[in-house]
Structure 1
Amino acid sequence: MNKWVLNVIAALLALLFIFPLLWMLLVSLKPDGTSVYSLADWVRWSDLNTDNYVKVVRDSEILRWTWNSLVIGVLTTVIAILFSSLAAFSFSKLPFRTRGLFYIVIVSGLLIPTEAILIPLYETTLHLKLIDNIWAIILPGLTNPIGVLLLKQFMDGVPRDYIEAAQIDGSRNFGLWWRVCLPLTKSAMVSVGIFYFILSWNNFLWPYLSITSAENMILSAGLPTFLSNNTMSLNMIMTASAIAAIPTIVVFILLQRHIVQGVSMSGIKG
């Protein structure tokens, strides 16, 4: 198949995926009550304005919810990456007798859906007096073992010669993690960090149950409340949805180079 045919197919697929985003953005910039269902509505840009955004920000706490989501997402990502990388280093480079057993136990957490542990999780959070607190969302988010699973695969690719050379230079376990494995898996950790951030940003069920006040809600839990009050206004719904989608899109665009490097395992060969 010719290269230009593949390029055309790729362009068509890209348009297919970007079309809903463009439609959402266009509807959000149209005056309230204006539909965007015909070609004439698409090409008529004279009525585009930001009044809907001003109204959504003024009549709701969406900026507060967005800030809460950002704080929780960043804290969850940073702490989870730190713990996951340390655990992955231990399972990958430190020999101990029960390493395989503990690794299986941790990774098996992927088989347990969040819905199955909601009741004990809520009772534990209530006992710790963390209900309606951002740490009620952050701490359960740190238990996702996907970071350990992925980072271990990357650290397995770090050549053993590097570890032995660092040990000869006097580096102990923490030094091996900090000076050898951490720099060589930086792109992988960025990729896993993006995954953690998106999981935190899109988390709905547990934040909806654990947060009771409007000012402490995150965007994914507060947005349905706003949408239920504006069911008759498609423009307002698309405006709020655009505000919710923009941060993750920006994060992906800024860090896409690291995602590609992470997928290629940073060029490390074992």
Structure 2
Amino acid sequence: MKPIALNVIAVVLALVFIFPLIWMLLVSLKPDGVYVYTLQDWLKFTDLNMANYAKVLKDSQILRWTWNSFTIGVITTILSLFFSSLAAFSFSKLAFKSKGLFFLLIVSGLLIPTEAILIPLYETTLHLKLIDNIWAIILPGLTNPIGILLLKQFMDGVPKDYIEAAQIDGCRNFGLWSRICLPLTKSAMVSVGIFYFILSWNNFLWPYLSITSQENMILSAGLPTFLSNNTMSLNLIMAASAIAAIPTILVFVLLQRHIVQGVAMSGIKG
């Protein structure tokens, strides 16, 4: 009886979470001014069309913003994984002076809100002449303490015997990182990579301040501009929101197995 009850609860929770997505999709496919408020609206499929999507694509640069978000997300994810995994390996497997101090400094970065560093960050970006440049978004996104902490936890689970055996065979630190730790923490790398990508995709405040032209805007910053000009059309708003949600949904659907593996392995220690 217990598994049945758990399955029922899981189905109910799934419906609760998917209900807003279905409502958003139906409203985006309805003619302008027709909303989904009654049961009859839910069951009436004859008036569904793609006119709202066509209007959004025509009247905005949403495809350009989506491409900018995707490009910045991919570059940020790759570079962040590279630097975070190196830092995590250093803290997990290497012994060096002031290791505890440096680790404490990284952890303390979690206590500093983004809003507290916006002014010095903007001043630095301005002096480097990176305002209205995608690198103004990418470079600050490379320093994320949570990624280092998560990867360090996984690398702590790599058996010391593997490291010692590789060192006896003459493997140096970079080889220990690339040949031992990375293959054994592949699921964790994918999970953290998805986290980095979604974090970059949903980033709003700093891109909104650092990008001044619509051509270089990312989706999270450009979409509110379009929505503010169409506040009277809920159908257009839902169509634009649906387009913005598609990439992250696809990323999760395609890589959900790695996310589950990463969470399942988070407590394993060597």
The answer to whether structure 1 residue 231 and structure 2 residue 240 are counterparts is no
Partner Cα separation in structure 2 for residue 269 and residue 116 of structure 1: 36
- The equivalences for 1:151-230 within 5 A come to 151-230=151-230
The answer to whether structure 1 residue 106 and structure 2 residue 106 are counterparts is yes
% identity of equivalent residues: 82
What is the CA deviation profile of residues 70-127 of structure 1, one whole-angstrom value per residue up to 9, with x for unaligned ones? Answer: 0001100000000000000000001112111101101211110010011000000000
Aligned counterpart, 2:119: 119
Partner Cα separation in structure 1 for residue 55 and residue 126 of structure 2: 36
Aligned counterpart, 1:141: 141
Q: Please state how far the C-alpha of 1:2 moved relative to its aligned partner.
A: 2.3
Secondary structure of the 1:83 match is helix
Q: Please state how far the C-alpha of 1:213 moved relative to its aligned partner.
A: 0.3
Partner Cα separation in structure 2 for residue 237 and residue 111 of structure 1: 35
Secondary structure of the 1:154 match is helix
- Report if the CA contact (8 A) 2:187-2:262 is conserved: yes
* Aligned amino acid, residue 248 of structure 2: T
Unaligned runs of 5+ in 2: none
Unaligned runs of 5+ in 1: none
- Report if the CA contact (8 A) 1:65-1:222 is conserved: yes
Q: Please state how far the C-alpha of 1:265 moved relative to its aligned partner.
A: 1.9
Aligned counterpart, 1:71: 71
Partner Cα separation in structure 2 for residue 269 and residue 215 of structure 1: 47
Distance 1:261 1:193, change over 3 A: same
The answer to whether structure 1 residue 246 and structure 2 residue 246 are counterparts is yes
Structure 1 runs of 4+ off > 4 angstroms? Answer: none
Aligned counterpart, 1:82: 82
Partner Cα separation in structure 2 for residue 2 and residue 179 of structure 1: 44
Q: Please state how far the C-alpha of 1:134 moved relative to its aligned partner.
A: 0.1
Relative to structure 2, which stretch is displaced further, 10-19 or 258-267?
258-267
- Report if the CA contact (8 A) 1:187-1:266 is conserved: no
* Aligned amino acid, residue 119 of structure 1: I
Q: Given the two structures, how large is their TM-score scaled by the length of structure 2? A: 0.98
- Report if the CA contact (8 A) 1:77-1:197 is conserved: yes
- Report if the CA contact (8 A) 2:156-2:269 is conserved: no
Q: Cα RMSD over matched residues?
A: 1.1
Q: Given the two structures, how large is their TM-score scaled by the length of structure 1? A: 0.98
- The equivalences for 1:10-89 within 5 A come to 10-89=10-89
What is the CA deviation profile of residues 11-60 of structure 1, one whole-angstrom value per residue up to 9, with x for unaligned ones? Answer: 00110011001111111111111111001011111111111111100110
What is the CA deviation profile of residues 122-179 of structure 1, one whole-angstrom value per residue up to 9, with x for unaligned ones? Answer: 0000000000000000001111111111000000000000101111221100000000
Q: Please state how far the C-alpha of 1:269 moved relative to its aligned partner.
A: 3.8
Q: Please state how far the C-alpha of 1:241 moved relative to its aligned partner.
A: 0.5
* Aligned amino acid, residue 177 of structure 1: W
Partner Cα separation in structure 1 for residue 162 and residue 40 of structure 2: 63
* Aligned amino acid, residue 182 of structure 1: L
Partner Cα separation in structure 1 for residue 35 and residue 147 of structure 2: 43
* Aligned amino acid, residue 172 of structure 2: R
Partner Cα separation in structure 1 for residue 35 and residue 249 of structure 2: 25
Aligned counterpart, 2:261: 261
- Report if the CA contact (8 A) 2:154-2:185 is conserved: yes
Q: Please state how far the C-alpha of 1:266 moved relative to its aligned partner.
A: 7.3
